[in-house]
Amino acid sequence: MAGPDSILVDFNHPVMVGKENEYMAQAIAAAKFSGDGSFTRKVSALLEQQLGIPKVLLTTSCTHALEMFALLMDIQPGDEVIVPSYTFVSTINAFVLRGARPVFIDIRSDTLNLDESRLEELITPATKAILPVHYAGVGCEMDAILTIASQHHVAVAEDNAHGLYGKYKGRFLGTFGVLAAQSFHETKNFTCGEGGALLINNPALVERAEIIREKGTNRSRFFRGQVDKYTWMDVGSSYLPSDLLAAFLYAQLEQREKIQAHRKKVWNFYHEHLHDWAFSHAVQLPCIPVYCDQAYHMYYMLLPTLALRQGLISHLRQRGIESVFHYLPLHLSEMGRRFGGKIGDCPVTEHVSDQLIRLPFHNSLSEDDLEKVVKAVLEFNFQIA
Ligand SMILES: Cc1ncc(COP(=O)(O)O)c(C=O)c1O
């Protein structure tokens, strides 16, 4: 049996899947190491065409795309933003940086997406935005969210870090909100190590987004020959990634079919082989509504108790299998409590955060790896934990 330190199956293991080396070499040969070179343009054009949206701007991370949301929405101190407590810190930190007050919403117990039935009670005259996070790449209830938002004149912007190529009722995630953010971090389906994208669904925001991304200047227009010099136009920062990273990412995106087919196989393997075991041990497996095409980003399970979840993580570690949990409820974090968060505000989030375990999920898992993981899970002794 493997000791606790010898990992046989990694939780995540980023790999090259196509022409990453070749395209990086081309980017180097082109002597354009900074941002917005030919590979950046290729990635943007590809995503715009595939998703059918007006503008995609590559960013240095999803976090930075979210920071651009807050700048583009003119978030001011005191503005309220509704965000699930069950998400990564960047979803809301980007807004708190501009002085916004987070208003934490609980999640649904089936998809773990924000509970749209709680939205109306949280909207106030200070609400500026609602931030749906498509958890695990499964679409939030966008029909209800968009209806409520438009009744109250509140903007919707999507954190789609997990959900590239996922769909809700036949329409790509990331195309519903006025803005959406993607992540190309190494834990995502498609990666360049660290990277992200801002998806702009309202063409009126494109020009200002380009300025914010380029240090508050109109350098993008200058490079396109639309102005003869560039200057300081607005607030902004440096949110554009090197073209070397875009070259790597383009090679990954070219392999969309291969990557997604592999991830679908991984997801289905876990789901089929763990179904009966889960049923007989009161373990909740992911729920994918029939009208959602998921993005195959992760495989999670909800154990009945915290002790069982922790027990399963250490049982798997003993067998050389890395598994992880996340997210800690944001409303109960040190920062969340400063905004008034307290136990009981988001009961489903608090419960799920104790129960959830994520199994190894990446682009180089072999059938042998999957068999090892499933065998180890099935051997977990519920009596001991
Ligand atoms: C829901 C969500 N939003 C945002 C992020 C931040 O992504 P990035 O690391 O690209 O900034 C993550 C990271 O995993 C995430 O899970």
What is the tens place of the pLDDT at every residue in 120-150?
A: 999 999 999 999 999 999 999 999 999 999 9
Tokens of 137: 């790449």
SS3 58: strand
- The pLDDT value given to residue 6: 87
**pLDDT (0 to 100) of residue 159:** 98
Distances (CA, A) of 24 to 20, 44, 96, 188, 247: 6, 17, 36, 20, 5
pLDDT digit string, tens, across residues 256-287: 999 999 999 999 999 999 999 999 999 999 99
- Ligand 1 centre and the CA of 378: distance in Å? 31
Query: What spacing in Å lies between the alpha carbon of 313 and ligand 1's midpoint?
Result: 23
Q: Whose CA is nearest to atom 9 of ligand 1?
A: 185
Average pLDDT over residues 215-231: 96
Q: What is the DSSP letter of 217?
A: B
Task: Give the tens place of pLDDT for each residue, 145-192.
Answer: 999 999 999 999 999 999 999 999 999 999 999 999 999 999 999 999
In this structure, the residue with its CA closest to atom 16 of ligand 1 is 88
Q: What is the pLDDT of residue 2?
A: 44
Ligand 1 center–CA 62 separation, angstroms: 6
Half-sphere exposure of residue 373, counting CA atoms within 13 Å on the CB side? 28
Distance 229 CA to ligand 1 centre (A): 35
Residue 46 CA, ligand 1 centroid: distance in Å: 22
18 pLDDT above the threshold of 70: yes
Would you state the structure tokens that stand for residue 363, as one six-digit string?
A: 């682009």
d(CA 328, CA 291): 29
Q: What is the mean pLDDT of residues 360-373?
A: 98
Using an 8 Å Cβ cutoff, are 214 and 198 in contact? no
* Average pLDDT in the chain: 97
Q: Are 64 and 209 in contact (CB under 8 A)?
A: no
Confidence class of residue 1 from pLDDT cuts 50, 70 and 90? very low
In degrees and rounded to multiples of 5, residue 235 shows phi and psi of -70, 160
Q: What is the pTM of this model?
A: 0.97
How far, in Å, CA of 291 to CA of 284, rounded? 20
Split at pLDDT 50, 70, 90, the class of 5 is low
Positive or negative, the Cα torsion across 67, 71, 77, 82?
Answer: negative
Ligand 1 binding pocket mutation candidate from 58, 88, 162, 187 (most atoms within 8 A of CB): 88
Contacts of 357 by beta carbon, 8 Å cutoff, 6+ apart: 300, 301, 303, 309, 312, 313, 323, 324, 325
The residue whose C-alpha atom lies closest to atom 15 belonging to ligand 1 is 88
Give, for 349, the enclosing helix (H) or strand (E). Answer: helix 347-355
For residue 384, pLDDT beyond 80: no
- pLDDT tens-digit profile of 355-365? 999 999 999 99
Q: Write the pLDDT tens digit of every residue in 331-351.
A: 999 999 999 999 999 999 999
Q: What is the pLDDT of residue 383?
A: 86
Cβ < 6 Å from ligand 1: which residues?
A: 61-63, 87-88, 90-91, 133, 159, 161-162, 183, 185, 196
Averaged pLDDT for residues 241-246: 98
4, amino acid identity: P
Question: Mean per-residue pLDDT for 214-222?
Answer: 97
